[in-house]
A and B are shown apart, each in its own frame.
Chain A
Amino acid sequence: MKVLVIAEHDGSKLSDATARTVTCANAIPGASVTVAVLAADPQAVASQAAALNGVADVLTVAHADLSHPVAAIWASTVETLAAGFTHLLMGSTALGKELLPRVAARLGVAQISDCMEVLGAHRFKRPTYAANALVTLDCPADKLVVATVRLASFEAAGSGGSAAIHASAVAVKNPGHTRYGQLATVQSDRPDLTSAKRVVSGGRALASRDNFELIYGLAKTMNAAVGASRAAVDAGYAPNELQVGQTGKIIAPDVYLAIGISGAIQHLTGIKDAKTIVAINKDPEAPIFEVADLGLVGDLFEVVPQLKAELGG
């Protein structure tokens, strides 16, 4: 099987999403994995992709119009690159979710979203209904398999490989109808939410943006990433990129602290793969306690400072 993975990066650093996608790609029986790097200057990212274990070779496409990840611009290039491959994969990231369906539709093939398990070269498991119903699907063997990968289901591939890097001559066709503006991102010294081993997450009960600093404080003490429930993001206590759940980020840390989060099923979807879930909530009936490995019923405004002190912060 010839598997093409489209790399995600910020222009200089390869995303952890790609390392996880490579692991999924190698779960396909008989896979030979190619990573394609589309960028204005792909060299640095291509070297990182070539160093991933389980990558057979790396293709680069260099063009000024590829300097930002715009699905409408990337789609035709990816479509052309995919010729000759049996599988086309990307992480279930914002970019993967907007680029691969565009490519799949152009090619007339159905897509698997959020592949969580590879059961064969053409058989995959994926979550539906906020992961309350897992479906196993067979794809036709005579068509390209297009799939986004549920990143929480796969570990990141390690590095130590040394794949060859080739420049691809594939054309870049900018349809000219979509112009990239800018990315507004909150600078944070906390670890990345999707790949962190420890996550401290806050909910509606924090009650204000100022109070949400308690979450940042505890996260700093624990060297953890910060997450938030939809309610906390909707209320403006935390920025959108911290949202965890069905429509936010799906994560699988070693430990997840849910603080003042009631635990709506949409939120639980995002944390089901956490190895240990800790719930701190005033309401002993909160649904979060149904999934928590460790629960503490109490007022977060008392518990969190105590916890921080106990942990040496």
Chain B
Amino acid sequence: MRRIVVGIKRVIDYNVRVRVKPDGSGVITDGVKMSVNPFDDIALEEALRIKERGQADEVVAVSIGPDDAQAQLRTALAMGADRALLIKTDQTLEPLAVARVFESVIQKETPFLVLLGKQAIDDDAAQTAPMVAALWDRPQATFCSKLEIDADLKTASVTREVDAGLETLSIDLPAVVSADLRLNEPRFVKLPDIMKAKKKPLDIIDINNLGINIQAQHTLVTTEPPKPRAKGVVVSDVKELVHALRQKGLVA
């Protein structure tokens, strides 16, 4: 079976203005809209397109999180994933622990490709993809904006968005690829697909049954909001703007 594993993380929706809890223990999530991490949407879309091109047989969506993450996995199934796997935990895992869980899923599912988002918009860590590749001892192509899988599924050509421009790599498969913004535009889910997704398999495994060390290494001291910027002024025309900039010594 030619299989692709895709990571799906449940995160606070990107449109929500995140607020820090007054006691500094984290951010407010009660009553806040949750969604699939936008980069994971892109990763899933790419997996579906590879399958639709006839280069894969099955797309498996994997989430590590609380029971409620089933909602995001159902979204992934509605988009077109064939089945879903929830590794259930109420703990917030560090990326290294997440990578260890993925590695164990990979050993069982034996995919030729693991597609992940380049970062999650909650912790913004951007660590999971390289960590999974490291533990699996396979190639990684992060910040991918173009992915071409060779016909024999032995290698892939990847274009990556790096600081200086676009970099190309050729990697052996299996490999881990992380999706950047411009890899594709994810499809919208249609109502009939949501109905169909209810019948697709969604397996739930308790994380404690995997025998993986998921203990956090870092200790949270506090969470705080950023300092607000001082209120600015609105100028009425270009001359006034230039005058203000010159006064601050910002332009000649």
Contact = CB atoms under 8 A, between A and B. Distances in A.
A240 B222 contact: no
Nearest to B131: A105
Given A294-B232, A295-B234, A296-B234, A136 B165 contact: no
A4 B181 CA distance: 32
Nearest to A106: B134
A239 B14 CA distance: 24
Interface stretch (B105-113, B201-209, B243-251): B243-251
Nearest to A304: B238
B235 A137 contact: no
B226 A132 contact: yes
B130 A102 contact: yes
A310 B217 contact: no
Contact of A101 (B134, B220, B251): B134
A4 B180 CA distance: 29
Interface string A65-93: 00000111001000000000000000001
B17 interface: yes
A246 B37 CA distance: 14
Contacts of B127: 101, 104, 111, 113
A78 B158 CA distance: 24
Size category, A interface? 35 or more
Interface residues of B, number: 83
Contacts, number: 249
Interface string A134-149: 1111111001000000
A254 interface: yes
B221 A138 contact: yes
A292 interface: yes
B232 A277 contact: yes
Contacts of B14: 266
A39 B167 CA distance: 18
Interface stretch (A19-27, A42-50, A54-62, A123-131): A123-131
A265 interface: yes
A190 interface: no
Given A105-B96, A294-B235, A312-B252, A183 B139 contact: no
Nearest to A135: B223
Contact of B229 (A123, A137, A181, A291): A291
A169 interface: no
A179 B234 CA distance: 52
Contacts of A310: 238-239, 242
Contacts of A298: 237
Contact of A134 (B166, B170, B224): B224
A64 interface: no
Contacts of B168: 181-182, 184
Contacts of B235: 294-296
Interface string B149-168: 00000000100111111111
B218 A110 contact: yes
Nearest to A309: B238
B125 A108 contact: no
Interface stretch (B43-51, B57-65, B114-122): B114-122
A25 to B, nearest CB: 19
Contacts of B19: 132
A114 B143 CA distance: 17
A127 B163 contact: no
Interface in A148-164: none
Interface in A276-313: 276-278, 284, 289, 291-298, 303, 306-307, 310-312
Interface of A: 10, 70-72, 75, 93-95, 97-106, 108-114, 123, 127-140, 143, 175, 177-186, 194, 198, 222, 230, 233-234, 239-241, 246-247, 249, 254-255, 265-266, 272, 276-278, 284, 289, 291-298, 303, 306-307, 310-312
Given A102-B131, A240-B182, A276-B248, 14 more contacts: A101-B130, A102-B133, A132-B17, A181-B170, A233-B182, A247-B180, A255-B245, A255-B251, A272-B229, A278-B241, A293-B233, A294-B245, A295-B233, A295-B234
Interface of B: 12, 14, 17-20, 26-27, 94-96, 99, 118-119, 121-135, 137-140, 142-143, 145, 157, 160-172, 175, 180-182, 216-226, 229-230, 232-239, 241-242, 244-245, 248, 250-252
27 contacts: A71-B140, A75-B134, A94-B160, A101-B95, A101-B130, A109-B217, A110-B217, A111-B96, A128-B123, A133-B224, A138-B219, A175-B139, A177-B138, A178-B139, A178-B172, A179-B170, A183-B162, A183-B164, A249-B163, A255-B245, A293-B229, A293-B233, A295-B233, A296-B234, A306-B238, A307-B241, A311-B242
